[in-house]
Structure 1
């Protein structure tokens, strides 16, 4: 597995990570045995970077990973997040007290004394950024985190935060159907030496090995997302079918090709596809080597902005920094 650096001051990690959101049952029921089998397949594939959060299953994802780590004792790089308070009402808390308390709980569930990367899951604009970054810097100096990250933020927030204390990584949604980060954020990360961690690089399953059916995405999360509701869903399936034909003609896996495309956007870009099933993870590899001609052909099949519908519903966009 190719390696990439997690920020200019961070560790080397596998060029593809594993997003562990689905371990918490967010995309359908799962079992700990199924999640552990997926983590075993991850390790066998050479993937050493795991991304989770306190809110994924309200601690379930971290606990599952913690028990796997305790039984396998393998050297992996762990990232987790805090600041979303589920409520009701749902709110964002970036206060030092909240971040510290949630980190301590995450460390306990994971069974570790530190995590390599700790994100604020969303930014609260009502809390001064200097105070938020100062709290994260304190956690780093205490040895509880290797560095901090920011999620779903704008280039301007990154510039301001990085000037206060260097940031290791920014995590935003990025894939063939969600390309807003190309409008400044990926470039700013490269300029500052910050890793860009792309979540949902397989379009929440739309760029998986097998086409999704409408009934499969009525899981409470995707079901409230405009891209997964009709008539948008059928339009998106039809567009992606053309990409499937492109991959099939070359003997390439659809998810592997989609991941290779994300990785082609810069040496600092690290996709973290998510799954809870070992068999799905195995479909990600091997990655095809994409030539300039291949990239141009993919752009013709799935041009920027092809997706019908917004990537989130209005209720989900309230805590996301929108800069375009």
Structure 2
């Protein structure tokens, strides 16, 4: 498995990681046994990075990972584990964000208990609280690092200017953002800023929430999925238009003898040595395709052909609806 440093200070992790949101029924029902099978496959393939969050299944994803580590002695040392906090609810039950030190530490302590760990290797602020300066939040993270509860510091879905501000307080090891052939937003400054500051760009949803695979989620399944049924790219007529647009990538992948998911993963990893990716899956077979992509080295001609098939801006519909877009920083 290809290894890459998590920012300028390391450590080395696998270029392909596991996005463990899929361990919590986000894209359809799953079982602990199924998630364990993926973790075993990861060990066999040399995939070392696991990304989860306190809100994935309200702790279910972390609990699944923690149980696996407990029941498989020696596996903790083989995994680099990241989690997140900051998404919560107000007194009225509305979604909001809390970047206070008290909240971040309390939620981190809960995550550590579910994971069965005394520290995590990377801890993200999942969403920014707009009325707290990010320099102050970075200071909170540095304190958690000094306490030994976290090793690396990360932020999710922040703008390049926010990364620069945070970096004046402490080194930011990673910024997580959606990045794929379907979502090119990081190319509008974040990709370059991460490279300049020695920060890893951790790309999630790199197979476009299934659009960039051989078997996109069927239209009839989408009404059963809370996130996708209101997501602009999966609502008609956008859904059918996006399937038609990505058919060309499926054809090209077949011509090359690869899965479409493998091609999509290889493209993302070709965008910079500081880029790693964390696609999620509930299928061991699909996981093998993701591993295949991490091992591919696309030629300049192949990269150019992929860009011809899916040029910037091809996707129909925004990546989020208005409610889903509350929290991620908009900068272009």
TM-score by length of 1: 0.98
Q: Structure 2 CA distance, aligned partners of 1:33 and 1:19?
A: 17
CA contact 2:2–2:14 (8 Å) conserved in 1: yes
Instruction: Return the match for 2:261 from 239, 251, 255.
Output: 255
Q: Distance in 2 between matches of 1:153 and 1:130?
A: 13
Distance 2:64 2:214 in 1: 26
- Tell me the residue number matched to 1:112: 117
* Superposed displacement of residue 208, structure 1: 2.1
For residues 279 and 216 of structure 1, the distance between their equivalents in structure 2, rounded to whole angstroms, comes to: 20
SS in 1 for 2:187: helix
After TM superposition, give the deviation of residue 128 of structure 1 in Å. Answer: 2.1
Question: Which residue does the alignment assign to 1:323?
Answer: 331
Output the CA distance in 2 between the equivalents of 1:217 and 1:272.
Answer: 22
Are residue 181 (structure 1) and residue 189 (structure 2) matched? no
Q: 2:145 matched to 1:145?
A: no
Query: Aligned pairs, how many?
Result: 324
After superposition, what is the alpha-carbon deviation per residue over 1:147-205, rounded to whole angstroms, capped at 9, x for unaligned?
21011110000000011100000000000000010010000000000000000001011
SS in 2 for 1:283: helix
Structure 2 stretches of 5 or more lacking a match? none
Runs of 4+ aligned structure 1 residues displaced above 6 Å come to none
Deviates more, 1:218-227 or 1:230-239: 218-227
Change (3 A) 1:19 1:315: same
User: 1:1-20, CA deviations, whole angstroms, 9 ceiling, x for partnerless residues?
Assistant: 01000111131000101000
Secondary structure of the corresponding residue to residue 166 of structure 1: coil
**Equivalence map 1:1-324=2 (5 Å):** 1-72=1-72, 73-74=74-75, 75-86=78-89, 88-218=93-223, 219-287=225-293, 288-324=296-332
- 2:171 is paired with a residue whose SS is coil
Unaligned runs of 5+ in 1: none
Post-superposition offset of 1:45: 1.3
Q: Distance in 2 between matches of 1:56 and 1:86?
A: 14
* Aligned residues of 2:121 and 2:151 also touching (Cα < 8 A): yes
Contact 2:206–2:277, Cα closer than 8 Å, also in 1: yes
Once the two structures are superposed, residues 190-226 of structure 1 have per-residue CA deviations (whole angstroms, 9 ceiling, x without a partner) of 0000000000001011112323311222301111110
1:69-121 Cα offsets, whole Å, 9 max, x none, are: 11123120000000001452000110100000000000010011100100000
1:285: Cα distance to partner?
A: 3.1
CA contact (8 A) 1:139 1:145 kept: yes
Report the Cα distance in structure 2 between the residues aligned to 1:215 and 1:39, rounded to whole angstroms.
29
Instruction: Tell me which moved more, 15-24 or 82-91.
Output: 82-91
**8 A contact 1:20–1:276 mirrored in 2:** no
- Secondary structure, aligned partner of 1:50: strand
TM-score if structure 2 supplies the norm length? Answer: 0.96
- SS of 1:124's partner is coil
Residue pair 1:79, 1:119 contacting (<8 A) in 2 also: yes
CA distance in 2, matches of 1:86, 1:97: 15
